[in-house]
Structure 1
Amino acid sequence: MHSLSGNILTPGGFVAGTLQLNAQGRIAAIQGQAISEAQARDSGDALVLPGFIDLHVHGGAGHDIMEGGQAVDFVTDIHARHGTTSLLATTMTAPLSDLDAAFAALSGVCSQRAPGRARVLGVHLEGPFISETRLGAQPPYARPVSVDEIARLNAVAPIRLITLAPEVDSNMDMIAALCAAGYRVQLGHTSGTYEDGVKALGHGATGFTHLFNAMSPMHHREPGMVGAALAHAPYAEIIPDLLHVHPGAIKAAMRAIPGLYCVTDSTSAAGMPDGEYALGRHKVFKCMGGVRLEDGTLAGSTLSMDQALRNLVNTLGLSVQDASRRVSTYAADHLRLADRGRLVVGAWADVVVLNDALQLQQVLVEGEALALNP
């Protein structure tokens, strides 16, 4: 495939025309006439958007990243068929031996993308450096930041994002060094105060993990970690499955945080029928449209990024352009990736094609057209 035609969403708005690809899987040219979003939606022609980027993926298709082995193949396959062109494989709080096994399985896929699958940009280390008082659905293996442990794992597969609780032991003092080493640091699974959050941002942390969930809530006299995020964060994740966070809270966060971006926090239950599944060392249960532990605690989601886009537009009332930034561009910006998450000349041809109902018609990963049906 050398070109796509339709209403192409560029950083400057929609262009009715053609997107040209080169042999290396990058965008060679975008040609056409500028049109409004209303014209693009009303025309009935295909909408051509940047491929989705998901920085928080635990699993899918019945497989969990922590399984190791070939699990990541199933995960990258199912998410690619829902428009996710690149992602961070996300680990759970676990003993080091479990993390070693998971990272060993990720080493090869981080260095080379398998045909027909999403690009694995690296690893999101969600824990184990979190608070034992805010585990959420994380197993009880929380511990303070260990530079040696991070270096050992990063030598096997690249860690791009680290979630930590800044109030735990020496974690706050480690943030600046982690950022200087090139990691992006997010605050999450934390009982820290507003002051802890502000101080951590001052040390170089840039984001918050699944905002509102598993962190100290906001009160008008005790703003908590949520208050720190709303007042100061440049970036934060949000899970727009309409179960983890009320639409009104999502809208409030969008007004407050410039780079609020969407993640699925998807589990092995994504794309599967109701039943029992694995999430790290936990058993989780898909039922009533969500995923929960035996005690009812929310445990990740079954959300896909194409459904996230539809939720943003159809339920929250965002424009397609704004919604696209939140499922693509802002995540790329947070990882400092200028060649993904936007349709511009020179960027990777990571593309989704949708109809006027925002249903996927086609997905390209680095110029490769994928089969959407299993």
Structure 2
Amino acid sequence: MTTRIGGKIVRPGAVVEGYVEVDGPAILSVEAAAVTDDDVIVPGFVDLHCHGGGGHTFTTGDAESARRAAAFHLGHGTTTMLASLVSSPFELMRDATEAYRPLVEAGIIAGVHYEGPYLSGVRCGAQNPEFLRDPSVKELAELIDLGGVRLVTVAPELPGALEAIGFLVERGVAAAVGHTDATYEQTLAGVAAGATVGTHLFNGMRPPHHREPGPVVGLLSSPVVCELIADNIHLHPGMLAFAAGTAGPDKAALITDAIDATGMADGTYDLGGQQVVVADRVARLARDGSIAGSTLTMDEALRNTVAAGIPLADAVAMASTTPARVLGLGDEVGALEAGLRADLVVLSSDLRVKRVMRSGRWVE
């Protein structure tokens, strides 16, 4: 049985009126035609960097909590996502990776992202400094052997970092530069070693300076995809527009960096063993006031990006197409094209979620 969904269809580089025809779990065709509906149809969002949502977290290794966090974000249009851990003891990383493998096999999450512990102590932000350590190929080898590891954030200036990045690439795992005090040259060395992602550009990084460009300029001028947290808190809308415009939609990916407090009331939460206080959507560490993740969803990130002046087609590429390519899934998801998986989001004219489809089935 086929399903036809009409509206303004956002395809790579264009917005066209027409219909998406779905047959089973796949897109059968996308045809241009006059429609009366003003709904906006976009590919399902792909979130490379998320720690939880809806009161549930990815950071503790609890599989049921992870399942519920993924379900929360699915309701906001995220049909593909990584479960991001924070800096943790090796045992927790191992146990969580093992616990999440059935979720990866079932397609509930696309894999695991380690945001830490191989990060700069100077730029650790809300990461727990107790668990930071230098990169270890031995640790990474054991973790990757468990399956499901898709992305690892590394500060390239640390001892052993370049070797670790090269090892990740050899094993088919994407490496990201982030939470780093690296110089411009050290950043480029990380890219040369194989890093293909910049973790939440600007945040957790040495600020740019005209005599020491640092990681921000190094990443923007390199062939890597720069993550952007479009919550208007981590990045001013003007800075979001600047970074997205400089990188272009093929080199920028919207992420949430969401924590369990996303979609929940203000209050006290936990992140990696540290107390987080959420007030008026802003999450901060209780101990020093550092921003501690976000309460963002991908649909809101899309709205904020468009409001910042980025064209809708470009913003959708940043929310879906580009991050899908980072994960090596561009031939499966991330665009509304015949033959790809029928992951799509029907938005109202003001870009609010009306319905979500994953693998050809509407999400309740």
After superposing the two structures, state which structure 1 stretch, 268-277 or 5-14, moved more.
5-14
Q: Which residue of 2 aligns with 1:116?
A: none
Q: Which residue of 2 aligns with 1:89?
A: 83
TM-score where L is the length of structure 2: 0.94
Match of 2:102 among 104, 108, 114: 108
**Percentage of identical aligned residues:** 38
Alignment RMSD: 1.6
Q: What amino acid is aligned across from residue 169 of structure 2 in structure 1?
A: C
Match of 2:145 among 147, 155, 174: 155
TM-score where L is the length of structure 1: 0.92
Matched residues in 1 for 2:224 and 2:122: separation? 26
Q: What amino acid is aligned across from residue 234 of structure 1 in structure 2?
A: V
Q: What amino acid is aligned across from residue 368 of structure 1 in structure 2?
A: R
Q: CA deviation at 1:3?
A: 2.5
Report if the CA contact (8 A) 1:232-1:257 is conserved: no
Moved over 4 A (4+): none
SS at match of 1:148: helix
Q: Which residue of 1 aligns with 2:16?
A: 15
Report if the CA contact (8 A) 1:185-1:207 is conserved: yes
Matched residues in 1 for 2:152 and 2:326: separation? 12
Residues 1-374 of structure 1 correspond to what in structure 2 (within 5 A)?
Answer: 2-11=3-12, 13-23=14-24, 25-33=25-33, 45-69=38-62, 70-113=64-107, 119-140=108-129, 141-258=131-248, 259-294=251-286, 295-314=288-307, 316-338=308-330, 339-371=332-364
Q: CA deviation at 1:12?
A: 5.1
Deviations 1:170-191 (A, max 9, x none): 1123322221221111100111
Deviations 1:185-235 (A, max 9, x none): 110011111000111111111111010011111000011111211222431
> What 5-or-longer segments of structure 1 have no aligned partner?
114-118
SS at match of 1:120: coil
Matched residues in 1 for 2:226 and 2:220: separation? 9
Matched residues in 2 for 1:87 and 1:362: separation? 18
SS at match of 2:337: coil
Q: CA deviation at 1:54?
A: 0.5
Q: CA deviation at 1:72?
A: 0.7
Matched residues in 2 for 1:137 and 1:154: separation? 25
Deviations 1:88-138 (A, max 9, x none): 00011011122123223211000013xxxxx41101111111112211111
Pick closer, same or farther for the CA change 1:67–1:175 going to 2, 3 Å.
Answer: closer
Q: CA deviation at 1:4?
A: 1.5
Q: CA deviation at 1:271?
A: 0.7
Matched residues in 2 for 1:56 and 1:234: separation? 16
Pick closer, same or farther for the CA change 1:257–1:12 going to 2, 3 Å.
Answer: closer
SS at match of 1:7: strand
Q: What amino acid is aligned across from residue 13 of structure 1 in structure 2?
A: A
Q: What amino acid is aligned across from residue 88 of structure 1 in structure 2?
A: L
